Chains A and B, each alone.
Chain A
Amino acid sequence: MTALLAEIGYQSNWVEILGAPFMRNAFIGGALVALAGGMIGYFVVVRGGEFAAHALGHIGFPGATGAVLLGLSPTLGLGVFCVAGALVIGALGHRAREQAVATGTVLAFATGLGILFASMATRNTSTVTSVLFGNLLAVSSDQIVVFAVVAVVIAAVLVVVARPLTLASVSPEVAAAKGVPVRALGTCFLVLMALATTVAVQVVGTLLLFALLVTPPAAALRFSARPVVVCGLGTLFGLVSVVLGLVVSVVFNLPPSFFIVTVSTLIWATSLVSTRERHRSTANVSE
């Protein structure tokens, strides 16, 4: 039994490891990212942010590896590329989403560029791996400061724009008639999304971004259609994914990203199953 556990990486000193300083950083960093993602969660699912999450993750990749090539911080490179990408997507509006081939080509090119930068910077591929798959266990105190700033910026902007952004998201037509700057708010949302992406990439990586930015609020939306509830519940789902994922990853000495994504997926699957009756019965009542 013990041999089997050791085989799959079980660490008997996991309680000890959980108390180590780098673990504290991982928990705080992960929690801040769950919060940053959760706050914009309602808007992500209502506005079709799946596309933005996908696109921004790809766009951020060459930013991070390019920054390393220049000897700069990958966080900075990620942030600059993600925000610039958000502005471009915002300027293109619906067209970016509609032109699937053009968008896909640009994103593939961005990924290729990222790999090129990474190979030029160093022979080893640790940067590439950590940007693609995240590296929560290596989160530094400096990064935590960045995460906290991002969370505060997102909260502050949302306090101002939440209501018009909600109206612009559910009925852009009515919002436009009321004088709400629908396009500008759309771009504003994308920039918030870019900030959340910048920090989330450092936790789960560009490839698994979806599981932290889209899956938790999508699960929350199954339980409630109230914006505040969706954001709160989505944050909670994100938090549970990060914390539980971290603990399990330490117990088995496997990458946290895998377990974070697993927990997030399980929560989502549970939300689908547990609300299936409710969604079906309301659909019937209306007929």
Chain B
Amino acid sequence: MPDPSVGSPVPGDRVAGDPADEPAVRLQGVSVAYGGRTIWSHGDLEIPSGGLVCIIGPNGSGKTSLLHLLLGMIPPASGTVEVLGAPARRGDARIGYVPQRFGDSVGDAITGRDLVRLGHTGSRWGLRRDRQVTAEVDAALDAVGGREFASRRLATLSGGQQQRIAVAQALVGSPEMLVLDEPLANLDLRNQRDVVDLLVGLREQRHVTMLVVVHDLNPFLPHLSGIVYLLDGHPHYGAVSDVVDGDLLTHLYGTSIQVVRTATGDLYTRART
């Protein structure tokens, strides 16, 4: 598997305690299975920290399962999963999570602001009041530009606004890593671009590692540091230039895809007509 962006994975090469050198994610011999049915296997990869990485693959290939694995929500059927230098576990406050179809599941029984607050207090027992939480909630809402509409019920917000609230909810507590599951689904083009700009900006300001499951790479292509692709039942990590390859993408999606480089050097992909 070509992986030029990661240095030699010989342990002796690593400077102990140097966070820049510690990969954000390390899978070794990992497979995922539900009730004996293997979804994918031979997961051996390292994702360097600090980047913006997209996760692609056909429907049902196990992208959400990969995120669940990193979040410790499911155990690997085999192998070891390390996230930010430690075995994956539930409740790791260093990871913020935006699940798939977040707005749909939440409904209209909560306001955006309360939801963001729950990103902080939702895993705490008891009812202690904490003024610092309010400040952090405001900061997270400001970071996504969500102050004006945060007091409204989530279901009354537009798709783009809901996604901003979802990101703010994941941001409180200042995580080192953000994982987002199809944050662009059901958004129109303009909202897609706004959310991409938001995520790219956040990654640059906060130096978080960002893993984003997407169906269409194009909106993220100019900003990516790498791509995880699920192909033929195995996950791979590769540099953008290696993965954005017509033959590979065609194989991946099972439909003919062409990679185009514009005069300015930008890459994009499109279905071959």
Question: Contact residues of A with B, CB < 8 Å?
Answer: 42, 45-46, 159-164, 166-168, 170-180, 221, 225-227, 230, 282-283, 285-287
Q: Are B122 and A174 in contact (CB under 8 A)?
A: yes
Report if B209 contacts A (CB, 8 A).
no
A170-B169 Cα distance, complex, nearest whole Å: 13
Residue of B whose beta carbon sits closest to that of A45: B109
Q: Which of A159, A175, A226, A285 interacts with B126 by CB under 8 Å?
A: A159
A166-B100 Cα distance, complex, nearest whole Å: 19
Q: Are A160 and B126 in contact (CB under 8 A)?
A: yes
Interface residues contributed by chain B, number (CB under 8 Å):
36
A172-B100 Cα distance, complex, nearest whole Å: 12
Q: Are B114 and A226 in contact (CB under 8 A)?
A: yes
Point out the residues of chain B lying under 8 angstroms from A172, CB to CB.
105
Q: Are B90 and A179 in contact (CB under 8 A)?
A: yes
- Known contacts A162-B127, A163-B118, A171-B115; A177 and B106 CB within 8 A of each other: no
A174-B167 Cα distance, complex, nearest whole Å: 12
Report if B234 contacts A (CB, 8 A).
no
Report if B91 contacts A (CB, 8 A).
yes
Point out the residues of chain A lying under 8 angstroms from B118, CB to CB.
163, 166-167, 170-171, 174
Point out the residues of chain B lying under 8 angstroms from A227, CB to CB.
110, 114
Q: Are A286 and B99 in contact (CB under 8 A)?
A: no
Q: Are B114 and A164 in contact (CB under 8 A)?
A: no
Q: Which 4 residue pairs of A and B lie closest in terms of their CB atoms, listed nearest first?
A: A179-B91, A167-B122, A173-B99, A179-B90
Point out the residues of chain B lying under 8 angstroms from A176, CB to CB.
73, 90
Q: Are A164 and B157 in contact (CB under 8 A)?
A: no
- Flag B131-159 by CB within 8 Å of A: 1 or 0 each: 00000000000000000000011001110
- Known contacts A170-B109, A171-B102, A225-B108; A163 and B156 CB within 8 A of each other: no
Point out the residues of chain A lying under 8 angstroms from B156, CB to CB.
282-283, 285-286
Question: Contact residues of B with A, CB < 8 Å?
Answer: 71-73, 89-91, 95, 97, 99-100, 102, 105-111, 114-115, 118-119, 121-127, 152-153, 156-158, 161, 169
Point out the residues of chain A lying under 8 angstroms from B127, CB to CB.
159, 162-163
Q: Which of B105, B123, B157 interacts with A179 by CB under 8 Å?
A: B123
Q: Are A178 and B99 in contact (CB under 8 A)?
A: no
A244-B203 Cα distance, complex, nearest whole Å: 58
Q: List 30 A-B contacts (CB under 8 A).
A: A45-B109, A159-B126, A160-B126, A161-B125, A163-B122, A163-B127, A166-B110, A167-B122, A170-B105, A170-B106, A170-B110, A171-B102, A171-B105, A171-B115, A174-B102, A176-B90, A177-B71, A177-B73, A177-B90, A177-B99, A178-B97, A178-B122, A178-B123, A179-B89, A179-B123, A225-B108, A230-B109, A282-B156, A286-B156, A286-B158
Beyond the given A173-B97, A178-B122, A225-B111, please list 6 additional residue pairs across the A-B interface where CB-CB is below 8 A: A159-B127, A162-B127, A173-B102, A178-B97, A179-B89, A285-B156
Residue of A whose beta carbon sits closest to that of B100: A173
Q: Are B91 and A178 in contact (CB under 8 A)?
A: yes
Q: Of B105, B123, B126, which is in contact with the most chain A CB atoms at under 10 Å from its CB?
A: B123
Q: Are B125 and A170 in contact (CB under 8 A)?
A: no
Q: Are B102 and A226 in contact (CB under 8 A)?
A: no
A178-B92 Cα distance, complex, nearest whole Å: 7
Point out the residues of chain B lying under 8 angstroms from A162, CB to CB.
127
A58-B185 Cα distance, complex, nearest whole Å: 42
Q: Which of A159, A173, A286 interacts with B157 by CB under 8 Å?
A: A286
Q: Are B122 and A166 in contact (CB under 8 A)?
A: yes
Point out the residues of chain B lying under 8 angstroms from A180, CB to CB.
91, 122-123
A17-B269 Cα distance, complex, nearest whole Å: 82
A285-B105 Cα distance, complex, nearest whole Å: 21
A228-B97 Cα distance, complex, nearest whole Å: 26
Residue of B whose beta carbon sits closest to that of A283: B156
A219 CB to nearest B CB, Å: 13
Point out the residues of chain A lying under 8 angstroms from B99, CB to CB.
171, 173-174, 177
Residue of B whose beta carbon sits closest to that of A221: B109
Point out the residues of chain A lying under 8 angstroms from B169, CB to CB.
174
Q: Are B153 and A282 in contact (CB under 8 A)?
A: yes
Point out the residues of chain B lying under 8 angstroms from A282, CB to CB.
152-153, 156
Point out the residues of chain A lying under 8 angstroms from B90, CB to CB.
176-179
Q: Which of A163, A168, A170, A173 interacts with B121 by CB under 8 Å?
A: A163
